[in-house]
Chain A
Amino acid sequence: MGRYVARRLGQMVIVLIGATMVLFACLFVLPGDPVGSIAGSDKARDPAVVAELKARYGLDKSLPEQYVNYVAKVATGDLGEDFVQRREVSDILAPKLQNTAKLALLAIALVTVFGMGVGIIAALYRYSILDMATTFFTTMAVGFPTFVIGMLLMKYFAVELQWFPQLGGDKLEGMVLPAVTLAVTDIAFVARLTRGTMLEVLRADYVKTAVAKGLPRRRVLFKHVLRNSSIPVVTYLGISFGALLGGALITEAIFNWDGVGLALVQAIQQQNNPIVIGVVTYSVAIFVVLSLIVDLLYAALDPRIRLS
């Protein structure tokens, strides 16, 4: 197990190197000069300022040189300075990572509780009114684009009813609307997934055996059915959590949530490359780590799976 984890982490380094290299190449292809213009202004930047900034950020060097310099700096924990505000990228991103993580945690909690809860109920009361309503609403929820959900929630609950603040903030009530926006689609997916796998497991021989030998219903449900049907659900939740931690571009933009997703959108538009590279590197890393955790959880849930 220890060797397995070590090997996976080793792979992560390779993935990260690959991702940053591709990113560097992509940024290079973009038209225009990242420090040649001032974001949001129609005036061309003073050539003297352009020259000074190019020298300061090493943009006057060749691309491979820039890449080597970047990797060398990142290895010492220095993500460099951004082009727009000229602040340390790590200073800029630290609070944003926290904000995104807060939102992701609340969203994934909502998804787990409501997604699995609804799925379990629907499976247990198959073909009942509850089950049919679940099917109907989950289909709708999956079909609605996130931005529509977000904007509708904001319009009704923040602007008109004013139950929640319009702009997030640090308090729980400010997180509700963006977290719900993020969670809706995933709740629907998880509910359907839970329902499907539960129904399958409920038909399995070992469940029939458990019932036949007279185990209490609750014990059958939790010990046998739920545990076995949770493997695909856990996979989905893990991957989904990884994606959420990487920042939600649309939702963060709608609610002015100061997270990494919003930072990425803005940085791309401003060609603020140090931020883009910082965010993408982080997202890739967090995703790889979470998929590793999911794999480890597999083994815990199903002892038949061996990690090697």
Chain B
Amino acid sequence: MRGAKSAKWVVGAVVVALAATACGGGDGDSKDKGSAANGGVFRMGSTEPDTIDPGRAHESTGILLANALFTGLYSNTPDGLAEPALAESATSDEGCTSWTFKVKPDTKFSNGEAVDAEAFARGWARAAHKAAASDVAYHFAGIKGYEQLQDGSAKTFSGVTTPDPTTIKVDLSKADCEFVLKTAHNAYSPVPKVAKVGEEDKAFGEAPVGNGPFKMDGSWEHNKAINLVRNDDYSLQKASLEKVQVTLLNDKTAQQLEYDGFQAGTFDYAHIPTPMLKTAEAKYKPQNKWFAKDTNGMNFVLPIGDNGPTNNKDARLAISYAIDRQAIAKGVFQGYQTPSTTIVPPAFPKAYQKDLCVSCVKQDVAKAKEHAEKGGLKPGTEIKFSFNTGAGHEEWVQAIAKQLEDVLGVKVKLDGKDFPGMLKEQQGNGATGIYRFAWGADYPTPENFLFPLLHSTSMNKDAEGNVVGDNRVRYNNPEFDKLIDTARSTKDEAARLTMYKQAEKMAMEDMALIPTFNRSQFRLMATDKFNGLDDINFNEDPILEKISIKK
């Protein structure tokens, strides 16, 4: 009786909630942060994940759960800084090709097994092996022996050794002075012996045994719920919540259901459907339940740089100057998105260079026309603008198309497709025009934008000349490549950042990508019932381990 169990939970949660409000009522102010107690059930809705296996989790719910169930060497703070978790130290040699991690001793998985260096090596090899066919395996690409795991000829990384239970030595095939940041990704989680390496492992993913602040309470009830319970043996700062109940929703109506559920009091946390933002803010901001943040995601117009009308810098500049970002932010997004003027997001404060994209700051009709003429964008030129339908992009894409037509006199042909269709075309040899594009960071470094999106090796062309990598603008600038390569092998952080900034400036001068809007996130949080609901983490999720119920 799976259903009966979860229904009982709801009743339990309601009782807890009532008790909480009853107590809070006596004390008056809901801002009272004073007393917190262990216990409580935190209820939220989220989409049914593809997988919650730490070696494969790649979308929002999967990442939320993998991070609640597993703790790796490093973790990211909400402000985009990596900090040690189970790592006591991380050191590299001068050339950044060899790394040594010291693992905190005597920590355990929830089944009692030790989390030693071997558990990390196992987890990494398991995620990178061909049999896992993991969408996050590429995070291991820099480690020696990756190819052998990818073709299935090895079951361990030749570049990962564990001389003793608290030491992990990693040899990289190429210098990477920021490798330590990668270890904050869920793919780098340790796994216990029950997780199988080198074969497809479905059972583990249904109820993973981890070492995180929470553990599974039962198995994944598909399309119903995933329930977590506090891991009392957690080796770092223990969580306070007794349980976390994630109701699984379908992906098309999830945001609406989360929002309705928050209003009805059945969820303590919710995303907000875009059309409801205004209403939600008006209602919940005065109650201190409204939360807004610009995160590490960025939206772009992606021009194909080696073909068609956008094959030169001037044409791309003309497009950028012709877009009135402020008008769209106000008109289409009702002020809930901010225009962006960079490739690297403001969420990386150390690397952020506000207004780096001069043409992005303000619409400039005269300059747009001037560059259009130089760049061969004659009035009447046809530009194809492709986007994926059904994901809420229609309105702003149309607004940009209209602005381009009005300012430049070009003919913009809108081409809406489903995502796989759009991607295939964009990758294709001979792709032209501009595309809707967005990118979010996996690790808190500008490199995570600049390398995959703009380094020439990230085009990764296949035999037919299709770009299967992420550099789909086909940006190919040897000077830029050299800067990035040097930066990656520069140990000094300040010097490295300077090079990344320089590289971003270079790409911006070439207008390789056209920035449009920052990714702004909005949430509703039951701050009257819980403490610790004042931020979202690097993955845009509630910080479950910091939440506690108010007495």
Co-complex (A, B): yes
> Can you list 5 A-B contacts with CB-CB less than 8 angstroms, sorted by A residue number?
A37-B423, A41-B59, A158-B264, A170-B3, A170-B7
Contact A40 B423 (CB under 8 A): no
Would you call B325 an interface residue if the criterion is a C-beta within 8 Å of the partner chain's C-beta atoms? no
Taking A158-B260, A158-B264 as contacts, is the C-beta distance between A262 and B250 under 8 angstroms?
yes
Q: What is the CB-to-nearest-CB distance from B514 to chain A, in angstroms, rounded to a whole number?
A: 16
Contact, CB under 8 Å: A42 / B437: yes
Contacts of B249 on A, CB cut-off 8 Å? 167, 256
Residue on B nearest A151 in the bound complex, by CB: B256
Assess whether A266 is in contact with B425, with CB atoms less than 8 Å apart. Answer: no
Main SS at interface, chain A: loop
Query: In the assembled complex, which residues on chain B have CB atoms less than 8 Å from the CB atom of A37?
Result: 419-420, 423
Chain B nearest Cβ from A178, distance in angstroms: 13
> Chain A residues with Cβ under 8 A from B3's Cβ?
169-171
Q: Please, how many angstroms separate the alpha-carbon atoms of A165 and B263 in the complex? A: 13
Question: Closest approach, in angstroms, between the C-beta of A293 and any C-beta of chain B?
Answer: 30
Judge whether B253 and A253 touch: CB under 8 Å: yes
Question: Which residue from chain B places its CB closest to the CB of A31 in the assembled complex?
Answer: B421
Q: What's the tally of chain A residues with a CB closer than 8 Å to chain B?
A: 50
Q: Chain B nearest CB: distance from A36 CB in Å?
A: 6
- Tell me which residues across on chain B come within 8 A of A43, comparing CB atoms: 439, 470
Give Cα A154 to B260, complex, Å.
9
Name the CB-closest residue of B to A155. Answer: B260
B31-57 interface (Cβ within 8 A of A): 50-51
Interface pick from B132-140, B275-283, B348-356, B360-368: B132-140
| B418 and A44 form a contact (CB under 8 A) | no
Q: Tell me the B457-489 residues at the A interface (CB within 8 Å).
A: 460, 462, 468-470, 472
| Contact of B266 with A by CB under 8 A | yes
A133 to B200, CA, bound (A): 62
Min CB gap B186→A, angstroms: 15
Q: Which residues of chain B in 316-347 are interfacial with respect to chain A, using CB atoms and an 8 Å cutoff? A: none
Contact with A along B209-252 (1 / 0, CB 8 A): 00000000000001110000000000000000000000101111
* Chain B, residue nearest A96 (CB): B223
6 nearest A-B residue pairs (beta carbon): A32-B420, A31-B421, A170-B3, A32-B421, A258-B223, A32-B424
* Contact partners of A49 in chain B: CB under 8 A: 133-135, 137
Say yes or no: is B455 at the interface (Cβ < 8 Å to chain A). no
Tell me, in angstroms, the Cα distance from A229 to B260 when the chains sit together: 45
Contact A42 B424 (CB under 8 A): no
Determine if B7 and A36 form an interchain contact, defined as CB atoms under 8 angstroms apart. no
B379 part of interface (Cβ distance < 8 Å): no
* Smallest CB gap from B131: residue in A: A52
CA distance A269 to B438 in the complex (A): 19
B261 contacts the other chain (Cβ, under 8 Å)?
Answer: yes
| Interchain CB contact under 8 A, B247 and A167 | yes
A166-B266 in contact (CB<8A): yes
Q: Considering residues A47, A50, A253, A256, which has the most beta carbons from chain B within 10 angstroms of its beta carbon?
A: A256
Chain B residues with a Cβ under 8 A of chain A: 3-4, 6-7, 50-51, 58-59, 130, 133-135, 137-138, 150, 200, 202, 222-224, 247, 249-253, 257, 260-261, 263-264, 266, 390, 417-425, 427, 437-440, 460, 462, 468-470, 472
Q: Are B251 and A159 in contact (CB under 8 A)?
A: no
Contacts of A231 in B (CB 8 A): none
Contacts of B438 in A (CB 8 A): 42
Cα(A167)–Cα(B264), bound, Å: 11
Candidates A44, A86, A154, A169; contact of B469 at CB < 8 Å: A44
CB distance from B17 to the nearest CB of A (A): 13
A33 within 8 A of B: yes
Q: Closest approach, in angstroms, between the C-beta of B469 and any C-beta of chain A?
A: 7
Which A142-176 residues sit within 8 Å CB-CB of chain B?
A: 154-155, 158-159, 162, 165-167, 169-171
Kindly state whether residue A87 has any CB partner on chain B within 8 Å: yes
Complex interface: chain A residues within 8 A of B133 (CB): 49, 52-53, 56
**Closest Cβ of chain B: how far from A292's Cβ, in Å?**
31
A1 within 8 A of B: no
The smallest beta-carbon distance between B218 and chain A, in angstroms, is 16
Q: What's the nearest-Cβ distance from chain B to residue A206, in Å?
A: 51
| Residues on A with beta carbons closer than 8 Å to the beta carbon of B138 | 46
Q: Which residues of A contact B260 (CB under 8 A)?
A: 154-155, 158-159, 166
Known: A32-B419, A159-B260, A159-B263. A44 touches B468 (CB 8 A): yes
Q: How far is the CB of A9 from chain B (nearest CB, A)?
A: 32
Most A C-beta atoms less than 10 A away, residue of B420, B437, B472? B420
Q: Write out the residue numbers on chain B whose beta carbons fall within 8 Å of the beta carbon of A56.
A: 133
A158 to B264, CA, bound (A): 8
Q: Note all chain A residues with C-beta closer than 8 A to B223.
A: 95-96, 258
What distance in Å separates the Cβ of B226 from its nearest Cβ neighbour in chain A? Answer: 13
B167: shortest Cβ distance to chain A, in Å? 30
Known: A31-B418, A167-B257. A87 touches B202 (CB 8 A): yes
Chain A nearest CB from B434 CB (Å) reads 15
A33 touches B58 (CB 8 A): no
Of the residues A44, A46, A85, A166, contact of B264 by C-beta under 8 Å: A166
- Separation of A37 and B135 alpha carbons in the complex (Å): 10
- List, in ascending order, chain A residues with CB within 8 A of B472's CB: 44
CA distance A49 to B133 in the complex (A): 5
Q: Would A46 and B135 be within 8 Å (CB), given that A38-B58, A40-B251, A266-B252 are in contact?
A: yes
| CB pair B425 A31 closer than 8 Å | yes
* Chain A residue with Cβ nearest B425: A31
Given the known inter-chain contacts A52-B130, A169-B7, please indicate yes or no for A254 contacting B253, CB distance below 8 A. yes
Q: Looking at the assembled complex, report how far the CB atom of B428 sits from the nearest CB atom of chain A, in whole angstroms.
A: 11
Q: Please, how many angstroms separate the alpha-carbon atoms of A158 and B250 in the complex? A: 18
Given contacts A96-B223, A258-B223, 18 further A-B contacts (CB under 8 A): A31-B417, A31-B418, A32-B419, A32-B422, A41-B58, A46-B137, A47-B462, A48-B150, A49-B133, A49-B134, A85-B50, A92-B222, A159-B263, A167-B257, A171-B3, A253-B253, A258-B250, A271-B420
| A191–B457 alpha-carbon span in the complex (Å) | 68
A109 an interface residue at 8 Å Cβ cutoff?
no
Report B-chain residues with C-beta under 8 Å of the C-beta of A154: 260
Contact B264 A30 (CB under 8 A): no
Q: Would you call B257 and A269 a contact (CB within 8 A)?
A: no
**In the complex, A124 has a CB within 8 A of chain B:** no
- The distance in angstroms between the C-alpha atoms of A158 and B472, with both chains bound, is 46
Chain A positions within 8 Å of B460 at CB level: 47
Residues of A within 8 A of B425 (CB): 31
Point out the residue from B4, B417, B418 that lies within 8 Å of A170, measured CB to CB.
Answer: B4
Which residue of the partner chain, among A30, A47, A158, A165, contacts B468 with CB atoms under 8 Å?
Answer: A47
Q: Which residue of A lies closest to B221 (CB)?
A: A95
**Interface assignment of A34: CB less than 8 Å from any CB of chain B:** yes
A286 at the interface (CB under 8 A from B): no
Q: Is the CB of B424 within 8 A of A256?
A: no
A246 and B222 alpha carbons, distance in the complex (Å): 21
A45 and B419 contacting across the interface, CB-CB below 8 Å: no
Residue of A nearest to B247 (CB): A167
Tell me which residues from 7 to 60 in chain A have a Cβ below 8 Å from any Cβ of chain B.
Answer: 30-34, 36-50, 52-53, 56
Known: A33-B424, A95-B222. A159 touches B264 (CB 8 A): yes
Complexed CA–CA distance, A40 and B59 (Å): 8
With known contacts A32-B423, A45-B135, A167–B261 Cβ distance under 8 A: yes
Is A243 close to B, CB under 8 A? no
Per the bound structure, the CA–CA distance linking A262 and B248 in Å amounts to 13
**Residues on B with beta carbons closer than 8 Å to the beta carbon of A32:** 417-424
Interface centre among B222, B249, B438, B470 (most CB of A within 10 A): B222
